[in-house]
């Protein structure tokens, strides 16, 4: 019982640590230079999106994750260049090192990446009380690139059946990503990662170890 209580305490402490974390001096200025058209408030939104990603990793039990936002990925990439600060953050937030992987979308050729994206989608939706399998809206991390009009970013809509219909009808290339696709087997024949290792109830510890990717 004492061990379980300690794990729950540690898990909740790590969530609070991520929420309250203050980025290293100069990090946000570097991101601002990378996106000079964004306001300070918009830059702050990117920080919130990256923290949502980190919480998804913790709540998913340290299983492999994948990044769905180019904007949040830009901040993550800059963060890891602050080697000591990033390592210290990971040890406190996760108890292990979270390796960087580039932003990506669902693809029939990248099953492991698909699994990581589904895992992040599930946790981000649960955090914002969105139904992961029938979304009416998008969690911040998946809405970020569209919201901020990020060049080369990933555009998501909750359910793009109608968008696909219009795109096909008028002969346009379809590049928008769909929240509804995360619960579909159409990309790789599985829905691996969707809802597994769900430590987001507050009663778990986010998992028993540091699997990472």
**Conformation bin of residue 62: beta by default, left when phi > 0, alpha when psi is -120 to 50:** left
Of the candidate ranges 11-25, 96-110, 191-205, the one whose mean pLDDT is the lowest: 191-205
How distant, in Å, are the alpha carbons of 105, 133, 139, 175, 189 from that of 184? Answer: 14, 9, 18, 17, 8
* Position 3 pLDDT exceeds 70: yes
pLDDT in tens, 143-184: 999 999 999 999 999 987 756 544 444 343 446 899 999 999
Beta pairing, strands 177-178 & 156-157: parallel
pLDDT in tens, 134-145: 999 999 999 999
How does the average pLDDT of the chain come out, rounded? Answer: 88
C-alpha–C-alpha distance, residues 211 and 115, integer Å: 14
Q: What is residue 171's predicted lDDT score, i.e. its pLDDT?
A: 40
**What pTM was estimated for this model as a whole?**
0.89
């Amino acid at each position: 019982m004492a061990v379980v209580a300690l794990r729950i305490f540690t898990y909740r402490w790590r969530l609070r640590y991520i929420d309250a974390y203050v980025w290293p001096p100069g990090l946000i200025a570097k991101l601002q230079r990378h996106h000079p058209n964004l306001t300070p408030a918009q830059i702050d939104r990117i920080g919130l999106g990256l923290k949502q990603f980190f919480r998804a990793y913790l709540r998913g039990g340290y299983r492999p994750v994948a990044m769905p936002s180019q904007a949040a990925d830009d901040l993550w990439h800059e963060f890891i260049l602050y080697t000591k600060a990033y390592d210290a953050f990971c040890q406190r937030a996760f108890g292990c090192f979270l390796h960087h992987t580039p932003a990506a979308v669902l693809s029939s050729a990248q099953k492991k990446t698909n699994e990581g994206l589904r895992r992040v989608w599930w946790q981000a939706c649960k955090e914002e009380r969105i139904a992961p399998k029938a979304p009416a809206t998008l969690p911040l991390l998946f809405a970020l690139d569209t919201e901020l009009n990020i060049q080369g970013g990933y555009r998501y809509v909750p359910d793009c059946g109608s968008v696909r219909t219009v795109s096909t009808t008028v002969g346009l290339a379809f590049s928008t990503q769909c929240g509804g696709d995360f619960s579909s087997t159409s990309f790789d024949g599985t829905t691996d990662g969707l809802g597994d290792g769900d430590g987001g109830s507050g009663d778990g510890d986010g998992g028993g170890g540091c699997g990472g990717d």
